[in-house]
Amino acid sequence: MALPITKSEMMMSAGIGIRIGTVTSVATLDASHDPYAPRDFATDEAMPTVERRTALDLRPDSSPDLAALSDRQQRHLVTGFADRVGDPVPLIDEEGNSYAAEDLFATATHVLVSELSQDADGSDATLVVAHPDRWTGYTSDVLREALDRVGLPDTTLVPESFAAMRWLEGSRGQQGEGLTVIYDLGATSLGITLMRTGLEAGVIGTGVHSQDFGGSQFDHIVTQYVLDTVSSSRDFEFDAFDPDTVGALVELRARCSEAKERLSYETATTLTVDLPGLRSETRLVRDELEDLIRRPILDSVELIRETLHTTGLDVGDVTQVLLTGGSSSIPLVAELISSELRVPVVTGPHPGRIPAIGGAIIAAEISAAVVADAPPAPPAATLADATRPAPRPAPTSSSASSSASAEPAGMSGRKKAGIVVAAVAALVVIAGGGLSVGTALTSDDKPAETVSENTAGTTSTTAPGTTAAVVADTGQGTDSAATTQNGLPAPTVAADGTLVPAPGTIIAPDGTVVADPNAAQNPAAPVAGGTAPPAGTAPTAPVVTVPDVTAPSVNVPSPQLPSRPTYNGPTLGDVGNGVGGAVSDLGNGVGGVVGGTVDGLGGVLGGLTGQN
């Protein structure tokens, strides 16, 4: 038995979709536990939705708000900003205040999000705004900046066609190979977008946006028809410039628009005509409406054919037509498109909400992906270990050194590149006459601690990498009885990995053990700060305090590596090729100063760059 889903689990993948239309704005919340699950959008009323007029009330005595759909008053309302985002010419309200259209758009978005969050607890939801496909990158950037100013910085912008296709996938499942025509019939315009589905999914061409078709055109046709009907039955005169008459005509147009919408799901309706000197009740049936708007719809179908022809396609390539936009809810639209193009037509119970619903699903998917990708909290032991200093690397034996030089299984290209770059860095330090720097790579790619060597009886720089491993590789032992190849006592290795030369010897700059000339002249002479050994006792190794030597800076030009295509990580061969030129440049630049050192490290660097 499945456990019940808690509210917190549901909100982890919550998403809000916003569409600010020319006349109507919609916000929808998708709080489903699985945003990828199939949906039955025949009941999309169950999804929390806020629908308002795209008209902002910006009176100074109240917070910004959007007018309700039934609110027909125009005073104190600012409209027309949805189509003017990015326009440098501001909008001016009744009081003379000017506003940038993108700021009004962002304010309307904030109002919808706030209201939806209060009604359905979407305060933690991810936000996606669906915008017209014709928007340019500049327009989108301008809106993003405006959304930042109103406190919505993490908003994702997607074209309305992509949001609509996401709705289609949620309703009909994953789409196979084909061509979908998105027919977006809004209040003031018609948009046609061709979308390829399947493996090569994407937009074909630039689409078409026409203001010759739309719900407002249908409203005008119906209003004119109603006026002709009532004027034929009685005689009346009115002044078209009289303010009362203008207000009455605006009201009549709104009532005709409502009657048109009711006829989308009813066969007949009645509306009231209230003009100066005339008041009448008029009955309007669906057949009358369809006869009035049939010609414009057929013309829009021809526009679909022209759009296909422009992109080198024809009607036979079309798999289906997706209807979006509030005016697409008129049954005649789907009927004529299907009969004329002979293709299936898909839409929802509320076509005007489709981009907002698709945006909400995308937002929920983004939210779910963020939650899934969030790394789990590390255990307390891991956090404690992270605060501890890195331990000094332990001395390695000859066999361990040789095994470390070999490429381990699964060694990353980044680690190999680090080894080669470390060798180049050592050459730079030697060329500058500075103190030696010992570098190593640990299993987690962190650089090992720096180890510097102080030699007795000299203030010159010491050889680089004088660790126990180097001693073993050059035939030097780690105990006091061992000798070097030239017969001198070998240095001993301290616990921290440094070398302590035997009495009477020093470590030369090239890393070899030689006799101390000062000890040969006066082996029992006291050193500065020390005392002579008692008579009859063997001399001990002198303790010399070596002053800190600051390495002079060497300005070595950074090699310009050739540009390469995007890849997951550099292979050692690639890095070796790129660094090889850099090493050559360094050798040429420092000349004789590093000649001996390059010879000493040549085999090491060659072995590293030779790995595949």
Is pLDDT above 70 for 522?
Answer: no
What SS3 state is found at 358? helix
In the numeric block, which tokens belong to residue 24? 């109507």
Looking at residues 168-183, what average pLDDT do you find? 92
The CB-based long-range contact list for 111-115 (8 Å cut-off, 24+ gap) reads 111/52, 111/56, 111/64, 111/65, 111/66, 112/18, 112/25, 112/26, 112/27, 112/50, 112/52, 112/66, 113/16, 113/18, 113/27, 113/152, 115/27, 115/50
- In terms of phi and psi (left: phi > 0; alpha: psi -120 to 50; beta: otherwise), the region of 445 is left
Q: Cβ distance 336 to 301 under 8 Å?
A: yes
N- to C-terminal Cα separation, the chain? 54
pLDDT score at 473: 43
**Please, what are the domains in the chain?**
7-215+292-370 (3.30.420.40), 398-527+540-609 (no CATH)
Cα distance between residue 421 and residue 407, in whole Å: 16
Is pLDDT above 80 for 438?
Answer: no
Cα distance between residue 354 and residue 362, in whole Å: 12
Cα distance between residue 519 and residue 55, in whole Å: 97
Residue 569 backbone dihedrals phi, psi, to 5 degrees: -175, 150
Of the chain, the percentage scoring pLDDT greater than 70 comes to 59
Length of the chain: 612
Is pLDDT above 80 for 317?
Answer: yes
What SS3 state is found at 30? strand
Q: Cβ distance 99 to 78 under 8 Å?
A: yes
- Tens of pLDDT along 126-159? 999 999 999 999 999 999 999 999 999 999 999 9
Residue-by-residue DSSP string for 429-440:
HHHTT-------
Give the pLDDT band (50/70/90) at residue 59: confident
Amino acid found at 142: V
For tokens 């808690």, what's the residue?
6
Cα distance between residue 561 and residue 72, in whole Å: 67
3-state secondary structure 113-157: HHHHHHHHCCCCCEEEEEECCCCCHHHHHHHHHHHHHCCCCCCEE
Q: Cβ distance 317 to 348 under 8 Å?
A: no
DSSP 441: B
Cα distance between residue 76 and residue 58, in whole Å: 7
Q: What pTM value is reported for the model?
A: 0.60
For tokens 């000890």, what's the residue?
519
Is pLDDT above 80 for 283?
Answer: yes
Cα distance between residue 8 and residue 5, in whole Å: 8
Residue 336 backbone dihedrals phi, psi, to 5 degrees: -70, -40
Lowest-confidence segment of 249-253, 475-479, 484-488 by average pLDDT: 475-479
H or E element at residue 244 = helix 243-262
Of the chain, the percentage scoring pLDDT greater than 90 comes to 42
Is pLDDT above 80 for 511?
Answer: no
CA distances from 300 to 24, 293, 417, 574 (A): 22, 11, 62, 58
